[in-house]
Amino acid sequence: MRSIDEITSNRRMRRNRRFEWNRRLVRENTLSLNDLIWPIFVTEGTGIVEPLATLKNVDRYSVDEAAKAAKRAFNLGIPAIAIFPNIALEKRDLTGSAVLDPDGLVNQAVRAIKLAAPDLGIITDVALDPFTSHGHDGILRDGIIVNDETVEQISRAAVVQARAGADIISCSEMMDGRVGAIRDALNEAGYNDIGILSYTAKFASAFYGPYREAVGTDQMLKGDKSTYFMDPANSDEAIYEAMLDISEGADMIMVKPGMPYLDIIRRLKDEFSMPTFAYQVSGEYAMIMAGVENGFLDEERAIMESMIGFKRAGADAIFTYFAPKVAEILQRKS
Ligand code: PBG
């Protein structure tokens, strides 16, 4: 029988793993505060900080409280925040017209957060799902999510959000032609410097459940979103989507959900060398927290491992509800 040194020709992978100092020297990827984007949920009213049943330790904030939370996030070193609204049910309609209200919840939150933390990046979203009475991301006509009319609506919404002070406009509704149309609308209104983050590869996923509760669309959504979101079985299609988004003028591209789609992040990063973000969605958060609550997972280690997985896959930044927690962990360790 051969010795191990004969088998490996004297190569021993474990030499570089013996000590923490050695592991640090050969570590290929790192996570830093610079990688974090914190999605928050806002709701009508004042003085409200309400816990969400399916997202342990995530609260929904009224605008005044959101401003305070944003300031805390900024002080923790988080670069940017993303806003998702839970608007009153009676303001929702078939076309999501409330998205155009300059004094709507999102735009109020943008203004309050800008005042509280002027150097915190603010990302808004033009998708219609929090504004429609059916929970779909686009305008529903005769059972069909109509593409071109939706794009017209969200392009106008982009201008309204830019006017409120949003720094980056994101589009999570997967309509065709939206990036180019939003670019045109922003430029026409003089917002040439406002960036576009495209949810380029957004999959029709089961992992969005808790988010839908947080924005109040869980009860109203009929059917699913598979006529506009991507099929989870596809990968080449994400390249095609990215090609179009980039040619239409996307400044950043994103893959969503995150953990089940790390391969897509890697492919897009390799193919396009663009700023590529990952969205660790609500269902991923809930899965980790369910494991933690049951005592099956070590919270800190599970969270940090999920983060480094995104970095290893090639993500430049990560949307995560864990952002404040991760920032605290990073600060403690530095
Ligand atoms: C829809 C939208 C979704 C999320 C953010 N915006 C998905 C959906 O409801 O279909 C999900 C975010 C999450 O699950 O954390 N525009």
Give the pLDDT confidence of 179-210 residue by residue, as tens digits: 999 999 999 999 999 999 999 999 999 999 99
> Whole-angstrom Cα distance, residue 55 to residue 213?
9
Residue 334 has pLDDT above 90, yes or no: no
Residue 234 structure tokens = 């596809």
Bridge partners (DSSP) listed for residue 255: 201, 278
Residues with C-beta less than 6 Å from any ligand 1 atom: 127, 129, 137, 172-173, 208, 211-212, 225, 281-282
Residue whose CA is at the smallest distance from ligand 1 atom 7: 208
Residue whose CA is at the smallest distance from ligand 1 atom 2: 172
Ligand 1 atom closest to the CA of 212, numbered from 1: 9
Bridge partners (DSSP) listed for residue 83: 40
Bridge partners (DSSP) listed for residue 132: 93
Residue 333 has pLDDT above 90, yes or no: no
Residue 211 has pLDDT above 90, yes or no: yes
Q: What is the mean pLDDT of the chain?
A: 97
Query: pLDDT tens for residues 96-111?
Result: 999 999 999 999 999 9
SS3 assignment, position 8: helix
Angle of the 105-116 helix axis to the 63-76 helix axis, nearest 10: 40
Residue 184 structure tokens = 């045109």
**pTM recorded for the entire structure:** 0.97
**CB 248, CB 240: distance < 8 Å:** no
Ligand 1 centroid–CA 207 distance in Å is 9
Task: Confirm whether 256 is a catalytic residue.
Answer: yes
